[in-house]
Structure 1
Amino acid sequence: MVTITSTSATSVFNNIVGNVNCRWYPNSLFYGLNPLTVYPKHIQLHVNKSSILLFTTGLLCHCTDEVQPSCSTNNIGPIYPGQHIKLHFALNSIITSSTKTPIIIKSFVKNSPHSVCQVSSMFEAEQRVTQNCTEVNYSILSENKSLCMLVLYNTDYRYPTIYYVKLSKCPPGFSFDKLEKSCQCDKLLQSTFKLNARCNINNQTIQRPANSWIGSTTTRNSYIYHICLHCPLHYCLPYSSHLNFSTPNSQCQFNRSGVLCGHCPHGFSTVFGSLDCKHCSNIYLTLTVPIAIAGLVLVLVLFLLNLTVTDGTINAFILYANIISINTPVFFLHLDGFVPAYTFISLANLDFGVQTCFYNGMDDYAKMWLQLSFPAYLVFIATSLIITSRYSPKVQRLTARRGLPVLATLFLLSYTKALRIVSSVLFSYSTITHLPSKHTTLVWSIDATLPLFGVKFTIMFIMCIIIFLMLVPFNATLLITKTMSHFNIVTKFRPLIDAYQGPYKCQYYYWAGAQLLIRIVFFAISSVDRNLNLTIGMLLLSLITTVQGVVGPYKNKTRNYHELAYMLNLHGLYTITLYLQDTTSTMAVNVLVAMATLHFSIIIMYHINTYMCDGVIKRKLNKSVVTLIRWMKQSSVKHQKFQLEDKTQNRIPEVAFNYCEFQEPLVGVD
């Protein structure tokens, strides 16, 4: 307890401030301010009552929970007009009940007592009393860049505490409303997104619509907003969220950042098998060795087991895997860990089935080139084997003259991947609207930070144009073969076309082209709303399944049953995903894909069994033919000798053998 005696209000106040450690700090905004200009009457009234003051019985001091009160003055800010502030006070008193005393507040602009900083009253009564502190919430309503001084008293108007509140210019997404005297939703954003005032100045956030991206640039007098209403490829959060312009990457998912969330932050890299950005190292470059070996093994298996589109056993499975791959975000909602079903489908589409790094710093541009390089590598291996077989009998026996069917199979396996890359380069563009000028900019959706039609993008664009000019006539030729056969250039590719049309009946040669068209349709509807995508896909599959069951386009009835089974499985996937909850549908999808995997395993076992049986039969047949030819040669020699000695040889009828009936078929002819 401190006792002060004085005859002057000024000296009394100054001495009191010094003794209770409530002096102004030199670096404070109100250093040197004379408190008597603010509340002289209250000080004078108190001084006139008694020359002996006991200031320790009622001084308001700033505090925090479970911390000793600090009677030093405080600065607040900068804050925004209308933003709520929380003040904690304690009455430095031995009277416990006085901590619950309401706090009275006065406010005005610094050095201008007649200019009032309005304090919202709705928060004045909201108090929370803890052990030592009383919490009071206030909202300052005043013009931008003003400096308000808050003077807080207890109920007796004694021993005030002073706060200086510095107000700043409204943040991005907000503008100052002169009527409300606070920061409200920017009218530009309100008119664009129809926000309906869903803004919160306390955390400086606005309500961002789902699948949209918003950026801002600070100018000298205002803000420029960059808005895209449709953020592509699931880069942005698919649901509505609160956006603070100081942390724009909060609207992105998969650790992405930048314009339209199309880039990875510094130190992160894109990975295969996902849209995610992760920390990577260059040690993953060693994966090129197993990848190269896997490509060689795949091509050899296609040659040896005759797993080709010409045989027709895997055509339906490839279509099944392609359609699931197109709708991966729909069927596989959670890919945080290892998902066997997703891995199997990805490998069937010549993709990585797990999230795998390749090298540090890989971006989406490099990722596209690497995705194109693997199918090109497989085609190179198959072409090399075909060329080598012309000069090597051993390689010719290995390939069994299945070069074109294998090439046709590799083209079909790569079709969906090529379609995805071509469409992402040639057709995936987004418009960014710049407000308030309202002009628009065209950017590449995959990576909006890459300059459009710069050197790097132009090279990729030309390559995709070439692939596109190959895919269009290829699809048309398989779909309307009779019409396209009048062109000489189509005649030159007739062996390759026959490889696709081989398993079908003559009147249904268009079925191979129709299946390519089905892939394009599913790819087109994959960009629409999820429920609409599933509904259209389910109806389309119902039509395809019905037509396939009635028509039966394959020559072999077993092939028809294979395709019908895969279409029914795919129809079940769409139905379950549309009508069941996420957790239940994920389990059901895994079960149905596992059934398709078992079906495919049976097909593989069939080809392995056929390969082994054919090998044994051919070896036995070779031995029998060689023995027969040797016996016939020996019989011929004996017969010639007999003719020389027998004078009646003309009376004996000649027996002619057709040796072609006993010869082994040409190697590779099935």
Structure 2
Amino acid sequence: MISSFTNFILSSDSASRSAQIICSKDGNHGGGGLGFYNITSLNISRLTFHHCGGNIGSLVASINTSRIYFGQETSAVLAIIGSTNVRVSGITIKGHYCGYGMIISDSRMVYIETVTINYSSNDNLCIYRDNKAVCITSGLLIYYYSSSQWNSTQINVKTLWIKCNVNWYHRVDVQKFFQHSRTRVPIYNISSSGLTILLGDVNFNHTSQILFYDLHLIHNTMGGGALLLYEMRRFLGPLIHFDTFILSQNDATTNGGGLTVYSVVVAPVSVKLKPDQVSKCIICLNNGSIMAQNAAGYGGGAYIAIGMNKDFWVPPIVLDTVEFLNNVASYGAFGLYVHSFLLEYNKRSKVTEQADFTITLKDSFVTNNGIPTTGRKLIYFSKIPAIQFVNIKLGIIVGFTSFIYNMGSAISAYSSNVGLLGYILFQKNRALHGAALNLQSNSLVVFHSLAIVKFIENTAYSYGGAIYSENEYCPVYFLEKTGRELFFIENAAYLEGDAIYFKGISKKCKNTINSHILKYSPKDYAMNQNVSSPPVKLEFCNEPNKTEYRLTGVYPGKLIQINISALDSNGKQVYSPVAVTISNDKSLDKSEQWTVPSEQRVQLLGSKDCTMLNLTIFYTLGMQHSATTYAHVAILGQLPFLSISFNVNDCPLGFELKLDGCKCHSFLLENNITNECDINTFQIGIKANAWLGPVYYNNNTDRLEHSSSGANIKKVLGYSPTCPSGYCVNGISRANVKDWDEMCHGHRTGVLCGECLEGYSVAWGTTECLKCRYFHIWTIVGVIVISLLTILVLFLTRLTIANETLGTIIFYANIQATFLYHKLDKKPLYIKVFAFFFSCLNDTLSLPTCLSSHMTSVTKSGSFFAFPVFLLLIVAGLVISSYHSTKIANFIAHSSIQVVATLLYLSFAKLLLTVINILTPVTIHTPERDFTVWYIDGSIPYGQDPGHIALTVIALFTLIFILFPFLLFTTFGSLLLSIRYLRPYSIYIRPFVDSYQGPYRNRYKFWFGLRLWLLLYIYICYTFLRGHKPLVMLSAQMIPLLLFTVAQSYIKPYHSKVTNIVDLFVLYNILICYLVMIYYYRATGEKDAAETYVFILAGPIVVLFFYLVAYHLLKRFQINSRLSKFVCWVKMRNMLNVLPKNRMEYEEIPGDENTRLREPLLENSK
């Protein structure tokens, strides 16, 4: 220690290099330091200290009696105490030193220039020994706790760097320290890690101040960047002035990561400033940057606390051209936190009155606060604001100041006022409430007459996109009626108030605000000036004047939705949470019988449109039904409410009541029919192409009925895994219990969709029910004409079953009948044409025809037996007419037997399918019992209706005496000719046998009949598997057909090689159709998608048929020979022009040509 000297100089010998002072060669800490006491005119320059720091206990004995004292362990590298005219320049303190880098205490006229205090030995990085700071380190301490020493004192600091210091003892709550007047604390516990200024119980005058220029506080941890603490009694001007400073990457375990200020007024200040003296500040911060600071408490960038007693005036603080950037904090504010506290300690006392204190933020830039540079997870918004004022009189934002991209409210005020003066920009800030301004606890925002304030693209995730206030009165005040410009542009609030949300806004307040908001928008923006307040009443959107709404169609567990909106005091629709209570009457007493789910007891109403209020009523088992139930809806915390009255209905058919509402009937669950039942849509899921619906039966006779009218009629749920093809909507997999007929296609209804709706009738040529029209008579005429044309074409072309290829084409059409479609009304034209073509080959015309509104499924099925007979009668009429007309005899000669055989073959498939349909029963499963009904009409009990019994008899007769004999004849016909007893009749049998078996080789005469047995198998599979097992049906049909085709490919049964090739082409075409159907069933579960491809594959078959027709026409009329004769005639005519004319006489051929050309059958019939 050096003391009591005058004109003491300590400097390097070299003017260009610093002298090196190494206190510890091995780099250990605490190797000693320099102390100066009571020196007059001290000059220290061009020195570098390494690994220093010695105990200063003997130096501070005279000042260690204050409340903030130096402990025995206090160390420093350079300490100057009680000296005058001190100049320190070109000093570097580095390495792993202990204690403070430099202490200035109770000295006057101090000038410090170009000083670096860096705990790290690296100038650019903070590198600690053993990766940690062993000693307690702090940069510069300026300590004055004596009024006599402070008077007329000036400290000028220029170019000061303080880096990488760590003070882990910084953990004292300074606010409590001042509230407990007898408490003493070691200086380490209050000091920051970088710069510490402690001015205690002093009188300030215009000659006493601390000036900093070019200050750098970087990467000081635990204790923060800087701490300014002063107690004042008298104020005449600025005390501490920072000009051109950078605070970066400092952090604190308490408050104020970058800067902490404690302004404590211990007595009423003797001098007050006038309002226009904003430059008269006790602390002035100019041209600085506070960035990337972090505080575990309040104020990540800066923390300012005003300690006072009631009614004390506190000198202002001014921040001019200061940037707050990327600061974070755990509480309070990311950038700047300013608040006041009472010095009089009382556990029950609360700071409820504003401190008479003003802080000014001028020409500053506040951005990206809440967005850490490193080390923390990025957040989208925060409840923590960028700047927060708590219990202060006025926070002034003046000049060109911007608040951009902050992750909390740009400014939050709690029991504080905010003044806006100048050009202020709030843009793209995000917060929970009030992304630009958040006013709480009677805070007020004041707009100066010269203010230009823009709120652009700010977002609140609840209320108030730009401004939010909790005040019960208008929180906005305008100093003048004109002059200011306010912009609210593209701000947004997720809940309410895109521009402004005030809890206590009145109509007058709203009108005042609207009068100052500019009504025009800049070019690239859209205005959004939504000003809202809390809801005060509810209303039904459809009936706004009613407070009670009657609801129908309520079922247990069914979701009810009612359009409701909430309105504020100005009648504007706003967001609101509402409470729902279920009651048995108009009171608010809860019902013990009905309830709603917990998530529906509090619901949210939106502000943009009317909101659907959701209610799901559940039944409490054991309680009885009440007459009327009420659902009361009220704004949370308010008594006026809306009432919704309703009666709860019994569960519809297919559902039954359970604890969680109407669910699937146990019949559906126990039989594995379905577990998909939705009471909200009244739909029950079923297997595709199945049927589900009501069944009516007499409880006494157990007979099915058509309706519920009459005595002892019971209605139960019925289910069938199969719905007749063309009756139900193709591929339907859901049933609507409110309209069972939605399953039915073509105006059908009833069990299995077997009946027609009222006013409709069963029709020929379609599975749909039609209204009988007068023009349908022309359809019958068309059917007759087409029938005659069919017979005419057969005789004219002589294209009969004796032609090998025609039989294969008809076989193709017979198989197509099992997967052709009934709903042709919405199909493309080419599909309709192909369907009509194949229906003709199947002896069924697809022309919808209704002759009588009384036609039933019984009469329609019976008429199918008549059409083949009608065609045979036409042929019989032609044969009889041939006895009386030579032309007719010549026309049908040599082809009548083949035509009859062809018509029999055409009728076989139609009769076979008709017989199968008539004899096919379907079982309807119900919870009571099972019913057997007719496949074609589910309303007819199987074997009990007289009409169906008659049809069954006809079908059995046809099956036994026509179809089976025809199968046997076509298979074993050639064997009949070898039976001795039948030889006399062989002249009648042989033409028919030759028609069917003639094209085949002798060893394979049975092949035609075998194909019919295969067709019978395909139809049986179609009957028993259609609807509920389509994939199994297609596979079961395809496998025998594949074996048949492969066998035919091997044996080649036809005489003609061309016929063998063409026949195989047709068979393989059928197999490809089956593969396409199976593929689309597996892919989509339906066959509609395969329809186009099936008909495209059928195209070559149609072309082949018309080729055969054209070929036989040419052959029949010998067109080729006639053309040859015509050519010869032309040549002969040319010769007659040169040669003499020769006449030739011709004699007519004697005899009856008709008799010569007759077939054996016609000859023997004379």
TM over 0.5: yes
1:259-298 superposed Cα distances (whole Å, 9 cap, x missing partner): 1111221223344443223444132112222322332232
- Tell whether the 8 Å contact from 1:287 to 1:358 is kept in structure 2 after alignment: no
Task: Please state if 1:454 is matched with 2:945.
Answer: yes
Greater radius of gyration (CA): 2
Cross-structure match for 1:155: 636
1:534-555 superposed Cα distances (whole Å, 9 cap, x missing partner): 4444443433333223323233
SS at match of 2:749: coil
SS at match of 2:870: helix
Residue 464 (structure 1) shift: 1.5
SS at match of 1:503: coil
Given the superposition, is the C-alpha separation of residues 525 and 221 from structure 1 closer, same or farther in structure 2, using an over 3 Å criterion? closer
Cross-structure match for 1:195: 674
Cross-structure match for 2:866: 373
Cross-structure match for 1:589: 1094
Residue 379 (structure 1) shift: 0.3
Cross-structure match for 1:571: 1071
- Tell whether the 8 Å contact from 2:1114 to 2:1120 is kept in structure 1 after alignment: no
Cross-structure match for 1:412: 905
Residue 562 (structure 1) shift: 3.1
Task: Please state if 1:463 is matched with 2:964.
Answer: no
SS at match of 2:1064: helix
Alpha-carbon distance in 2 for matches of 1:349, 1:505: 27
Residue 599 (structure 1) shift: 1.6
Alpha-carbon distance in 2 for matches of 1:612, 1:423: 42
- Tell whether the 8 Å contact from 1:61 to 1:70 is kept in structure 2 after alignment: no
Compute the RMSD of aligned alpha carbons.
Answer: 3.8
Given the superposition, is the C-alpha separation of residues 100 and 333 from structure 1 closer, same or farther in structure 2, using an over 3 Å criterion? same
Cross-structure match for 1:346: 839
- Tell whether the 8 Å contact from 1:100 to 1:134 is kept in structure 2 after alignment: no
Alpha-carbon distance in 1 for matches of 2:1111, 2:543: 82
- Tell whether the 8 Å contact from 1:145 to 1:166 is kept in structure 2 after alignment: no
Query: Which of 169, 174, 183 lines up with 2:662 in the alignment?
Result: 183
Query: Which of 983, 989, 1013 lines up with 1:494 in the alignment?
Result: 989
1:8-42 superposed Cα distances (whole Å, 9 cap, x missing partner): xxxxxxxxxxxxxxxxxxxxxxxxxxxxxxxxxxx
Worse overlay, 417-426 or 443-452: 443-452
How many pairs align? Answer: 570
Residue 393 (structure 1) shift: 4.3
Alpha-carbon distance in 1 for matches of 2:545, 2:691: 45
Identical amino acids, percent of aligned pairs: 24
Cross-structure match for 1:654: none
SS at match of 1:150: strand
Cross-structure match for 2:970: 478
Given the superposition, is the C-alpha separation of residues 139 and 220 from structure 1 closer, same or farther in structure 2, using an over 3 Å criterion? farther
Cross-structure match for 1:137: 614
Task: Please state if 1:324 is matched with 2:816.
Answer: yes
Alpha-carbon distance in 1 for matches of 2:1120, 2:889: 15
Query: Which of 535, 553, 560 lines up with 1:85 in the alignment?
Result: 560
Q: Structure 2 matches for 1:238-637, cutoff 5 A?
A: 238-239=730-731, 241-329=733-821, 335=827, 339=831, 340-358=833-851, 360=853, 362-390=855-883, 392-426=885-919, 428-435=920-927, 437=928, 439-450=929-940, 452=942, 453-469=944-960, 470-481=962-973, 494-495=989-990, 496-527=992-1023, 528=1025, 529-579=1029-1079, 585-613=1090-1118
Given the superposition, is the C-alpha separation of residues 490 and 578 from structure 1 closer, same or farther in structure 2, using an over 3 Å criterion? farther
Given the superposition, is the C-alpha separation of residues 171 and 60 from structure 1 closer, same or farther in structure 2, using an over 3 Å criterion? farther
Query: Which of 226, 232, 256 lines up with 2:718 in the alignment?
Result: 226
Given the superposition, is the C-alpha separation of residues 450 and 487 from structure 1 closer, same or farther in structure 2, using an over 3 Å criterion? farther
Larger relative contact order (CA 8 Å, sep ≥ 6): 1
Alpha-carbon distance in 2 for matches of 1:307, 1:533: 34
1:312-356 superposed Cα distances (whole Å, 9 cap, x missing partner): 342222222222223314999974755222222122222224555
Residue 444 (structure 1) shift: 0.6
Alpha-carbon distance in 2 for matches of 1:629, 1:209: 75
Q: What letter is aligned with 1:604?
A: V
1:107-153 superposed Cα distances (whole Å, 9 cap, x missing partner): 33349957523222222344342457454222222356323333333
Q: Structure 2 matches for 1:68-107, cutoff 5 A?
A: 69-77=544-552, 79-91=554-566, 93-95=568-570, 99-107=574-582
- Tell whether the 8 Å contact from 1:99 to 1:134 is kept in structure 2 after alignment: no
Q: What letter is aligned with 1:102?
A: P
Alpha-carbon distance in 2 for matches of 1:58, 1:525: 69
- Tell whether the 8 Å contact from 2:536 to 2:567 is kept in structure 1 after alignment: yes
Residue 220 (structure 1) shift: 10
Q: What letter is aligned with 1:211?
A: N
Alpha-carbon distance in 2 for matches of 1:608, 1:487: 40
Residue 616 (structure 1) shift: 7.1
Alpha-carbon distance in 2 for matches of 1:666, 1:556: 30
Worse overlay, 350-359 or 596-605: 350-359
Worse overlay, 383-392 or 89-98: 89-98
Given the superposition, is the C-alpha separation of residues 156 and 297 from structure 1 closer, same or farther in structure 2, using an over 3 Å criterion? closer
Given the superposition, is the C-alpha separation of residues 611 and 70 from structure 1 closer, same or farther in structure 2, using an over 3 Å criterion? same
SS at match of 2:1117: helix
Cross-structure match for 1:209: 687
Residue 155 (structure 1) shift: 2.4
Given the superposition, is the C-alpha separation of residues 100 and 429 from structure 1 closer, same or farther in structure 2, using an over 3 Å criterion? same
Residue 501 (structure 1) shift: 2.1
Alpha-carbon distance in 2 for matches of 1:287, 1:386: 27
Residue 391 (structure 1) shift: 5.5
Cross-structure match for 1:119: 596
Residue 412 (structure 1) shift: 0.5
SS at match of 1:202: coil
Alpha-carbon distance in 1 for matches of 2:1036, 2:959: 26
- Tell whether the 8 Å contact from 2:535 to 2:576 is kept in structure 1 after alignment: no
Given the superposition, is the C-alpha separation of residues 205 and 324 from structure 1 closer, same or farther in structure 2, using an over 3 Å criterion? closer
Given the superposition, is the C-alpha separation of residues 407 and 199 from structure 1 closer, same or farther in structure 2, using an over 3 Å criterion? same
Q: Structure 2 matches for 1:652-667, cutoff 5 A?
A: 666-667=1156-1157
SS at match of 1:102: strand
Q: What letter is aligned with 1:168?
A: N
Worse overlay, 507-516 or 358-367: 358-367
- Tell whether the 8 Å contact from 2:581 to 2:590 is kept in structure 1 after alignment: no
Q: Structure 2 matches for 1:641-652, cutoff 5 A?
A: none
Given the superposition, is the C-alpha separation of residues 150 and 381 from structure 1 closer, same or farther in structure 2, using an over 3 Å criterion? closer
Cross-structure match for 2:540: 63
Q: What letter is aligned with 1:405?
A: Q
Structure 2 residues not aligned, in runs of 5+: 1-533, 697-707, 1126-1143, 1161-1166
1:478-528 superposed Cα distances (whole Å, 9 cap, x missing partner): 223466665968985724334322222222221221121121122223343
- Tell whether the 8 Å contact from 1:210 to 1:237 is kept in structure 2 after alignment: no
More strand per residue: 2
1:584-607 superposed Cα distances (whole Å, 9 cap, x missing partner): 744443333221222222211221
Q: What letter is aligned with 1:139?
A: T
Q: What letter is aligned with 2:1063?
A: E
More helix per residue: 1
Worse overlay, 114-123 or 86-95: 86-95
Q: What letter is aligned with 2:583?
A: F
SS at match of 2:716: strand
